DNA sequence: TGCCAGGCCCTCTTTAGGGCCTT
Protein backbone atom coordinates (compact mmCIF):
# COMPACT_ATOMS: atom_id res chain seq x y z
CA UNK A 1 0.00 0.00 0.00
CA UNK A 2 1.37 3.37 -1.04
CA UNK A 3 1.76 6.21 1.42
CA UNK A 4 -1.00 8.78 1.70
CA UNK A 5 -1.20 11.96 3.78
CA UNK A 6 -4.59 12.49 5.42
CA UNK A 7 -5.09 16.20 6.07
CA UNK A 8 -7.54 18.36 7.99
CA UNK A 9 -7.70 22.15 8.35
CA UNK A 10 -9.52 24.23 10.91
CA UNK A 11 -10.23 27.68 9.49
CA UNK A 12 -11.97 30.98 10.17
CA UNK A 13 -14.61 30.34 7.50
CA UNK A 14 -15.65 28.42 4.45
CA UNK A 15 -13.69 29.92 1.60
CA UNK A 16 -10.16 31.30 1.21
CA UNK A 17 -11.45 33.20 -1.81
CA UNK A 18 -13.67 35.13 0.61
CA UNK A 19 -10.86 35.86 3.05
CA UNK A 20 -11.04 32.85 5.36
CA UNK A 21 -7.69 31.67 6.74
CA UNK A 22 -6.44 28.47 8.32
CA UNK A 23 -6.11 28.30 12.10
CA UNK A 24 -4.84 24.74 12.52
CA UNK A 25 -3.53 21.94 10.35
CA UNK A 26 -3.01 18.25 11.01
CA UNK A 27 -1.62 15.52 8.75
CA UNK A 28 -1.61 11.79 9.42
CA UNK A 29 0.84 9.82 7.28
CA UNK A 30 -0.41 6.32 6.43
CA UNK A 31 1.75 3.55 5.05
CA UNK A 32 0.79 -0.11 4.77
CA UNK A 33 -2.48 0.55 6.57
CA UNK A 34 -0.71 2.00 9.61
CA UNK A 35 -0.17 5.49 10.94
CA UNK A 36 3.57 6.02 10.63
CA UNK A 37 3.84 9.75 11.37
CA UNK A 38 1.84 12.83 12.38
CA UNK A 39 2.10 16.60 11.99
CA UNK A 40 -0.08 19.09 13.87
CA UNK A 41 0.15 22.81 14.53
CA UNK A 42 -1.94 25.85 15.23
CA UNK A 43 -1.03 28.67 12.85
CA UNK A 44 -1.19 32.43 13.24
CA UNK A 45 -2.33 34.26 10.13
CA UNK A 46 -3.42 37.43 11.92
CA UNK A 47 -7.00 36.66 10.94
CA UNK A 48 -9.78 37.10 13.49
CA UNK A 49 -11.66 33.98 14.62
CA UNK A 50 -15.42 34.64 14.79
CA UNK A 51 -17.19 33.57 18.01
CA UNK A 52 -19.12 30.85 16.21
CA UNK A 53 -15.88 29.28 15.00
CA UNK A 54 -14.28 29.62 18.45
CA UNK A 55 -17.21 27.68 19.88
CA UNK A 56 -17.13 25.08 17.08
CA UNK A 57 -13.42 24.34 17.18
CA UNK A 58 -12.33 25.47 20.62
CA UNK A 59 -9.59 27.48 18.90
CA UNK A 60 -9.58 31.03 20.29
CA UNK A 61 -7.94 34.24 19.15
CA UNK A 62 -5.83 34.10 22.31
CA UNK A 63 -4.54 30.64 21.40
CA UNK A 64 -3.51 31.87 17.96
CA UNK A 65 -1.66 34.87 19.40
CA UNK A 66 0.94 32.41 20.68
CA UNK A 67 0.91 30.15 17.58
CA UNK A 68 3.78 30.08 15.06
CA UNK A 69 3.32 32.13 11.88
CA UNK A 70 1.33 30.43 9.15
CA UNK A 71 4.09 30.75 6.56
CA UNK A 72 6.52 28.84 8.77
CA UNK A 73 3.95 26.14 9.56
CA UNK A 74 3.08 25.69 5.89
CA UNK A 75 6.73 25.39 4.88
CA UNK A 76 7.20 22.75 7.59
CA UNK A 77 4.12 20.77 6.60
CA UNK A 78 5.06 20.98 2.92
CA UNK A 79 8.39 19.37 3.82
CA UNK A 80 6.58 16.79 5.94
CA UNK A 81 4.16 15.81 3.15
CA UNK A 82 6.49 16.10 0.16
CA UNK A 83 4.92 14.66 -2.96
CA UNK A 84 2.74 12.12 -1.17
CA UNK A 85 -0.87 12.00 -2.48
CA UNK A 86 -3.40 13.40 -0.06
CA UNK A 87 -6.76 12.42 1.42
CA UNK A 88 -9.38 14.60 3.11
CA UNK A 89 -13.05 14.49 4.06
CA UNK A 90 -14.78 16.83 1.60
CA UNK A 91 -11.43 17.30 -0.08
CA UNK A 92 -12.51 20.26 -2.18
CA UNK A 93 -12.58 22.29 1.04
CA UNK A 94 -9.18 21.27 2.39
CA UNK A 95 -7.54 21.42 -1.04
CA UNK A 96 -8.54 25.07 -1.48
CA UNK A 97 -6.95 25.98 1.87
CA UNK A 98 -3.91 23.78 1.16
CA UNK A 99 -3.25 25.58 -2.11
CA UNK A 100 -4.05 29.05 -0.75
CA UNK A 101 -1.91 28.81 2.40
CA UNK A 102 0.98 27.19 0.52
CA UNK A 103 0.89 29.95 -2.08
CA UNK A 104 1.06 32.59 0.68
CA UNK A 105 4.11 30.75 2.04
CA UNK A 106 5.75 30.73 -1.38
CA UNK A 107 5.39 26.99 -1.84
CA UNK A 108 3.77 25.03 -4.65
CA UNK A 109 1.06 22.47 -3.94
CA UNK A 110 -0.43 20.33 -6.64
CA UNK A 111 -0.72 17.10 -4.65
CA UNK A 112 -3.62 14.95 -5.87
CA UNK A 113 -6.49 14.74 -3.35
CA UNK A 114 -8.82 11.81 -2.77
CA UNK A 115 -12.10 12.56 -1.00
CA UNK A 116 -13.49 10.29 1.72
CA UNK A 117 -16.87 12.06 1.48
CA UNK A 118 -17.34 11.15 -2.18
CA UNK A 119 -16.04 7.62 -1.58
CA UNK A 120 -18.19 7.11 1.53
CA UNK A 121 -21.34 8.14 -0.35
CA UNK A 122 -20.62 5.24 -2.73
CA UNK A 123 -19.31 2.65 -0.27
CA UNK A 124 -21.65 3.42 2.68
CA UNK A 125 -24.96 4.49 1.09
CA UNK A 126 -26.73 3.04 4.15
CA UNK A 127 -25.10 5.50 6.58
CA UNK A 128 -27.50 7.98 8.26
CA UNK A 129 -25.52 10.80 6.64
CA UNK A 130 -21.96 11.28 5.45
CA UNK A 131 -20.60 13.73 7.98
CA UNK A 132 -17.19 12.69 9.27
CA UNK A 133 -18.38 12.12 12.83
CA UNK A 134 -21.41 10.11 11.76
CA UNK A 135 -19.29 7.88 9.54
CA UNK A 136 -16.79 7.38 12.35
CA UNK A 137 -19.64 6.13 14.57
CA UNK A 138 -21.08 4.08 11.70
CA UNK A 139 -17.72 2.28 11.35
CA UNK A 140 -17.19 2.17 15.14
CA UNK A 141 -13.88 3.97 14.74
CA UNK A 142 -12.04 4.79 17.97
CA UNK A 143 -12.66 8.22 19.43
CA UNK A 144 -9.50 10.16 18.67
CA UNK A 145 -10.13 13.42 20.51
CA UNK A 146 -12.28 16.53 20.32
CA UNK A 147 -14.23 16.72 17.05
CA UNK A 148 -13.44 19.82 15.01
CA UNK A 149 -9.84 19.84 16.12
CA UNK A 150 -7.51 19.13 13.23
CA UNK A 151 -5.68 16.07 14.54
CA UNK A 152 -8.80 14.34 15.83
CA UNK A 153 -10.56 14.90 12.51
CA UNK A 154 -7.49 13.83 10.50
CA UNK A 155 -7.28 10.63 12.56
CA UNK A 156 -10.98 9.97 11.96
CA UNK A 157 -10.56 10.57 8.23
CA UNK A 158 -7.58 8.22 8.21
CA UNK A 159 -9.69 5.52 9.88
CA UNK A 160 -12.45 6.16 7.38
CA UNK A 161 -9.99 5.89 4.47
CA UNK A 162 -8.81 2.50 5.76
CA UNK A 163 -12.41 1.39 6.33
CA UNK A 164 -13.34 2.30 2.76
CA UNK A 165 -10.40 0.28 1.46
CA UNK A 166 -11.43 -2.71 3.58
CA UNK A 167 -15.03 -2.43 2.35
CA UNK A 168 -13.90 -2.34 -1.27
CA UNK A 169 -11.76 -5.41 -0.71
CA UNK A 170 -14.61 -7.31 0.98
CA UNK A 171 -17.52 -6.27 -1.25
CA UNK A 172 -15.86 -5.93 -4.63
CA UNK A 173 -12.71 -8.04 -4.31
CA UNK A 174 -10.68 -4.91 -4.86
CA UNK A 175 -7.70 -5.37 -2.53
CA UNK A 176 -5.21 -2.58 -2.02
CA UNK A 177 -6.41 -0.08 -4.65
CA UNK A 178 -3.95 2.75 -5.15
CA UNK A 179 -4.69 6.44 -4.59
CA UNK A 180 -5.22 7.20 -8.26
CA UNK A 181 -7.74 4.35 -8.60
CA UNK A 182 -9.74 5.70 -5.67
CA UNK A 183 -9.56 9.23 -7.13
CA UNK A 184 -11.16 7.83 -10.28
CA UNK A 185 -13.67 5.73 -8.35
CA UNK A 186 -14.92 8.72 -6.34
CA UNK A 187 -16.37 10.23 -9.54
CA UNK A 188 -18.05 7.06 -10.82
CA UNK A 189 -21.88 7.27 -10.75
CA UNK A 190 -23.07 5.45 -7.64
CA UNK A 191 -25.31 3.04 -9.48
CA UNK A 192 -22.48 1.92 -11.74
CA UNK A 193 -19.89 1.33 -9.05
CA UNK A 194 -19.70 -2.48 -9.21
CA UNK A 195 -19.65 -2.50 -13.00
CA UNK A 196 -16.91 0.13 -13.10
CA UNK A 197 -14.76 -1.84 -10.67
CA UNK A 198 -15.29 -4.97 -12.74
CA UNK A 199 -14.23 -3.24 -15.94
CA UNK A 200 -11.27 -1.30 -14.58
CA UNK A 201 -9.95 -3.46 -11.78
CA UNK A 202 -10.81 -6.99 -12.81
CA UNK A 203 -13.00 -7.38 -9.73
C1' DT B 1 -29.28 44.68 8.72
C1' DG B 2 -28.33 41.13 5.60
C1' DC B 3 -25.45 38.82 2.89
C1' DC B 4 -21.38 36.02 1.80
C1' DA B 5 -18.25 29.34 -1.36
C1' DG B 6 -17.64 25.39 -4.20
C1' DG B 7 -18.69 20.96 -5.79
C1' DC B 8 -21.40 16.83 -5.77
C1' DC B 9 -25.78 14.67 -6.39
C1' DC B 10 -30.70 13.86 -6.54
C1' DT B 11 -35.08 14.82 -8.82
C1' DC B 12 -41.15 16.90 -9.01
C1' DT B 13 -34.16 17.55 -14.07
C1' DT B 14 -31.37 18.66 -18.21
C1' DT B 15 -33.70 26.09 -20.52
C1' DA B 16 -33.19 24.22 -12.47
C1' DG B 17 -33.42 24.07 -7.77
C1' DG B 18 -32.11 22.60 -3.47
C1' DG B 19 -29.84 19.47 0.05
C1' DC B 20 -25.48 17.78 1.63
C1' DC B 21 -20.68 18.43 3.23
C1' DT B 22 -16.50 21.22 4.85
C1' DT B 23 -15.28 25.87 8.97
Separation in Å: B20 C1' and A34 CA: 30
**Measured CA to C1', what is the nucleotide nearest A9?**
B23
Separation in Å: B9 C1' and A183 CA: 17
Q: Is the CB of A198 under 7 A from strand B?
A: no
Distance CA A71, CA A63 (A): 17
Give residue A26's domain range: 4-201
Separation in Å: B21 C1' and A24 CA: 19
CA distances from A118 to A88, A112, A185 (A): 10, 15, 9
Per-residue pLDDT of chain A (203 residues; tens, 9 = 90+): 689 999 999 999 999 999 999 999 999 999 988 999 999 999 999 999 999 999 999 999 999 999 999 999 999 999 999 999 999 999 999 999 999 999 999 998 899 999 999 999 999 999 999 999 999 999 999 888 888 999 999 999 999 999 999 999 998 888 888 999 999 999 998 888 888 888 877 65
For strand B, give the nucleotides within 7 A of a protein CB.
4-10, 20-23
| Count: domains in chain A | 1
pTM for this entry: 0.93
What pLDDT is recorded for position A197? 87
The domain that holds A37 is classified in CATH as 3.30.420.10
Amino acid sequence: MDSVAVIDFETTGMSPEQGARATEIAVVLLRGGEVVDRFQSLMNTGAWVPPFIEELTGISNEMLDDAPPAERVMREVAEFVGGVPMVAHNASFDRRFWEAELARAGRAGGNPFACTLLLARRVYPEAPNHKLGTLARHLALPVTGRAHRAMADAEMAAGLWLGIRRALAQRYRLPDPDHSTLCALQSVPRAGLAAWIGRHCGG
